């Protein structure tokens, strides 16, 4: 009965986040907070509001995925970037339009963090409204989301911790309504991220995802994947561990051991599966799963993901143009392997990963953490201490991407980077990879690469934050 009630609450959150109306209504402003948080539904509404807001186009629905970040990672043809997006291509952080983008991004991060902190505080004030199981679920997801948002603020606005662990840059917001939270060094800031995620894991110990295998749901002829989204379209127990693996990997040093351990825990849990070609890709367009949904550990459902992607990726004759790949780029990137399943993500010069006509079965969404990343983290984590095991992990992933026979190879940083370039198309992760490795950005052609530097990798703090947040 407890599990059924918890699943019912998760379903309510999923339904609220799938409604267009939610994005048009600010419930916390239109209701007295005490009324909103006087029922379990109110907590679900508030949490759904955060999921929907971060899935919007100004955050992960476009800007932090196939929009700004992928343009900055130079996956698109440099010469074909539309005029309005050249500020991203050129890292023109002093441009007034770019400053507006940065301010909006910063404000969106901290507005959602404030909303999460408000939910946390009300879960203490009105503890009796929620069952113990639901309260733990809410607090776990909130803390995991707070860790996620703060971590991506670090990845955008701070010097890499391995280069300057004592750099004092960023505020970490843990209380609702605090106008000027303290600023932390990069190392101390990441310790706070880890603290939130470790606490989240404890609260999510009884997450309903432990009772199911999401990749096995929604596979019938007349079924959609909403049943799986119930568990993975939110920060669940395994997503939190996967994010911890991502954080530890970014810190380097001995933390890589924690990264590979957690990545393999997620791999071995059996809840997610690498894409099955026959089931997911060798089918008609309406059933073709271009997002490799069975691999999703965490994804964000977003009503506008498809239309936003069409505006960026679909060829529209007579417009300012759309981002596209350089001629021959796919062949070079995928080393001429015409059997690579990821080539399904492209049509001619354009990415069709998010624009396929399959939304009746697969609700539009943005992959946030996928199983393939766990294989890459584990392989990178073992490549020096156990090269044979690292080679096996990478071979497993690569074999799941092609009909061609894949042989084991000694894993190197360049090999890991190549697989990440193949894998993270349209997901915004590649910019962070270059920054973490302090690696030159490899262009869509041999002429448009960019030297690694903080001038490129570190976005400036908004002027408003410096002026009113007393940051210097």
Instruction: Kindly report, residue by residue over 397-446, the tens digit of the pLDDT.
Output: 999 999 999 999 999 999 999 999 999 999 999 999 999 999 999 988 77
pLDDT at res. 319: 62
- Whose CA is closest to 472, among 264, 169, 242, 240? 169
Residue 294 · residue 212 · CB < 8 Å: no
Residue 215 · residue 234 · CB < 8 Å: no
Spell out, as residue ranges, where the chain has pLDDT lower than 50. 1-2, 19-28, 30-31, 470-472
- Tokens, residue 406: 């894949």
The Cα–Cα gap between 372 and 366 comes to 15
Total Cβ atoms within 10 A of residue 254: 8
Q: What is the pLDDT of residues 70-128, one digit of tens each?
A: 999 999 999 889 999 999 999 999 999 999 999 999 999 999 999 999 999 999 999 89
Long-range contacts of 432-439 (CB under 8 A, 24+ apart): 432/69, 432/155, 432/250, 434/73, 435/155, 435/160, 436/160, 436/249, 436/250, 437/413, 438/160, 438/162, 438/163
Give the sign of the dihedral formed by CA 438, CA 335, CA 326, CA 367. Answer: negative
Report CA dihedral (427, 374, 51, 197) to the nearest 10 degrees.
Answer: -130
Residue 54 · residue 300 · CB < 8 Å: yes
- Tokens, residue 87: 């500020």
Residue 89 · residue 72 · CB < 8 Å: yes
């Amino acid at each position: 009965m407890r599990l059924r009630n918890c699943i019912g609450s998760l379903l309510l959150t999923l339904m609220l986040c799938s409604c267009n109306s939610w994005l048009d209504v600010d419930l916390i402003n239109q209701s007295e907070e005490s009324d909103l948080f006087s029922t379990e539904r109110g907590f679900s509404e508030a949490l759904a509001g955060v999921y929907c807001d971060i899935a919007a186009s100004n955050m992960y629905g476009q800007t932090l995925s196939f929009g700004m970040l992928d343009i900055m990672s130079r996956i698109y043809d440099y010469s074909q970037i539309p005029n309005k997006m050249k500020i991203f291509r050129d890292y023109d952080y002093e441009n007034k339009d770019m400053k507006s983008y940065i301010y909006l991004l910063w404000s969106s991060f901290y507005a959602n963090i404030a909303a999460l902190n408000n939910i946390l505080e009300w879960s203490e004030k009105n503890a009796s409204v929620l069952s113990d199981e639901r309260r733990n679920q809410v607090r776990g997801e909130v803390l995991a989301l707070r860790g996620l948002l703060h971590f991506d603020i670090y990845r955008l606005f701070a010097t890499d911790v391995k280069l300057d662990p004592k750099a004092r840059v960023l505020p970490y917001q843990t209380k609702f309504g605090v106008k000027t939270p303290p600023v932390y060094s990069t190392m101390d800031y990441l310790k706070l991220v880890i603290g939130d995620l470790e606490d989240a894991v404890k609260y999510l110990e009884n997450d309903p995802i432990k009772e199911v295998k999401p990749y096995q749901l929604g596979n019938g002829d007349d079924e959609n994947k909403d049943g799986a989204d119930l568990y993975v379209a939110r920060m669940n127990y395994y997503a939190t561990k996967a994010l911890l693996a991502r954080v530890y990997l970014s810190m380097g040093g001995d933390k890589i051991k924690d990264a590979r351990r957690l990545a393999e825990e997620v791999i071995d849990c059996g809840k997610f599966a690498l894409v099955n070609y026959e089931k997911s890709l060798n089918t008609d367009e309406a059933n073709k799963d271009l997002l490799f949904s069975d691999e999703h550990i965490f994804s964000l459902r977003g009503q506008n993901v498809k239309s936003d992607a069409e505006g960026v990726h679909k060829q529209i004759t007579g417009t300012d143009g759309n981002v596209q790949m350089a001629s021959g780029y796919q062949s070079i990137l995928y080393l001429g392997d015409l059997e690579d399943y990821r080539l399904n993500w492209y049509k001619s010069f354009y990415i069709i990963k998010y624009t396929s006509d399959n939304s009746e079965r697969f609700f539009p969404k943005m992959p946030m953490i996928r199983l393939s990343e766990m294989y890459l983290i584990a392989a990178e984590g073992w490549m020096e201490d156990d090269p044979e095991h690292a080679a096996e992990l990478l071979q497993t992933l690569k074999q799941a991407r092609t009909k061609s026979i894949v042989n084991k190879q000694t894993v190197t940083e360049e090999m890991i980077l190549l697989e990440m370039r193949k894998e993270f198309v349209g997901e915004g992760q590649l910019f962070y990879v270059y920054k973490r490795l302090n690696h030159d950005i490899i262009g869509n052609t041999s002429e448009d690469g960019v030297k690694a530097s903080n001038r490129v990798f570190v976005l400036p703090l908004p002027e408003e934050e410096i002026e009113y947040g007393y940051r210097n």
